[in-house]
Amino acid sequence: EQINKGKYDHYMQKEIHEQPDSLTTTMRGRLIRGDSRKMKTVLLGGLKDHLKTIRRSRRIVFIGCGTSYNAALASRPILEELSGIPVSMEIASDLWDRQGPIYREDTAVFVSQSGETADTLLALDYARENGALCVGITNTVGSSIARKTHCGVHINAGAEIGVASTKAYTSQIVVMVMLALAIGSDTISSQKKREDIIDGLLDLPYKVKEVLKLDDEMKDLAQLLIDEQSLLVFGRGYNYATALEGALKVKEVSLMHSEGILAGEMKHGPLALVDENLPIVVIATRDACFSKQQSVIQQLHARKGRLIVMCSKGDAASVSSSGSCRVIEVPQVEDCLQPVINIVPLQLLAYHLTVLRGHNVDQPRNLAKSVTTQ
């Protein structure tokens, strides 16, 4: 039943709309709400014997490819904040190319939907040889990465068929936020923050349901962009990953060139591209980076940029005060969960662009769901 398209035309479309349910399954049995006496906590069974070792590690290294790498990047800030441990990011093939340093005191976290990606597996063998504690985050029970890591967490998002990863991405982020909560759970000073995040997680499927209502709006936007050559996506902080992942979705399925850009780097090159023709999505939802993104919007407006701004509900007037732009309003959630909300309109945009441009949604040319060769 799970691999049936049901009422949908494509698996990608089905998997996008399934996210309220897949997120619920990912969290099932793992969040303990607690009563007035008992604190809210996270239970990740696959890690419980290793949490002490992880907390003592000198560094946490996230390793993955494609969408899985982006999900890890989205979770990095909260892991750093709640654990106090430095977190570094490695694209699996690049770690292997460089034979980058991995130490016994490291915790290496391997993120992979399929659990079979050759580059990630090579990096895993390498990290094991170097003595790191290896943690797997996969969607496939019994996969090579699940078997070869010392411990791990299944994301339980259900089978994902569309080559472009959608529901696995949001479930991976949720698992990594739960990982951050679990690692940080012995710190009293962040107890309130952790409880707020747990409340936010429990509410998240409802918020995703709400953001999915933007489907028609994103179809209209796709219609408007159908003949464009290129689309830039600017994000920063928690939503740098959203910029990369949104651009990856657009390019892999709709075959339109798209680039995710760290907004802080705008003045170091990308600004040269800005004119009245090139469409630019700016992610400016409410978080610690909001005022910086407002100033990015002003700078882009000053150069007559053609902007599509994603902002929190109620902020449309303030983000368009410096010039006209199209606005996508999304519900506001806890900072570290906002990437789960913000990617949804971009998944919908990529989907509709692909259908309107007449390309294969579920099997984009030249790509494979799982790349098992180097």
The token pair that represents 130 in the structure block: 């170097």
Taking each helix axis from N to C terminus, what angle separates 338-357 and 240-249, rounded to the nearest 10 degrees? Answer: 20
Please say whether the dihedral angle defined by the alpha carbons of residues 1, 22, 119 and 47, taken in this order, is positive or negative: negative
Q: Determine if 371 is a binding residue for ligand G6P (CB under 6 A).
A: yes
Residue 288 near ligand G6P by CB under 6 A? no
Contact between 153 and ligand G6P per CB under 6 A = no
Residue from the set 72, 163, 353, 361 that interacts with ligand G6P by CB under 6 A: 163
Out of 93, 320, 322, 370, the residue judged to bind ligand G6P by CB under 6 A: 370
Interface residue with ligand G6P among 67, 294, 312, 347 (CB under 6 A) is 67
- Number of residues interacting with ligand G6P: please give it, by CB under 6 A: 16
**How many of the other CB atoms lie within 10 Å of CB of 324?**
9
- Asked if 117 is part of the footprint of ligand G6P (rule: CB under 6 A), the reply reads yes
Alpha carbon distance, N-terminus to C-terminus of the chain: 33
Site for ligand G6P in 170-199 (CB under 6 A): none
Helix (H) or strand (E) holding 70: helix 66-83
Residues contacting 252, CB < 8 A, separation 6+ = 163, 164, 350, 364, 367
Which position among 120, 156, 285, 354 is part of the footprint of ligand G6P (CB under 6 A)?
A: 120
Per CB under 6 A, which region of 37-45, 94-102, 163-171, 310-318 contacts ligand G6P?
163-171
Q: Which listed residue (65, 127, 181, 296) binds ligand G6P by CB under 6 A?
A: 65
Two tokens at 328? 């996508």
327, 311 in Cβ contact below 8 A?
Answer: yes
322 binds ligand G6P (CB under 6 A): no
Residue closer to ligand G6P by CB (options 233, 307) is: 233
Please report whether residue 143 would count as binding ligand G6P according to CB under 6 A: no
Helix, coil or strand: residue 184: helix
Compute the distance between CA of residue 12 and CA of residue 26 in angstroms, rounded to an integer. 19
- Where do contacts with ligand G6P occur on this chain (CB under 6 A)? 65-68, 112-114, 117, 120, 163-165, 367, 369-371
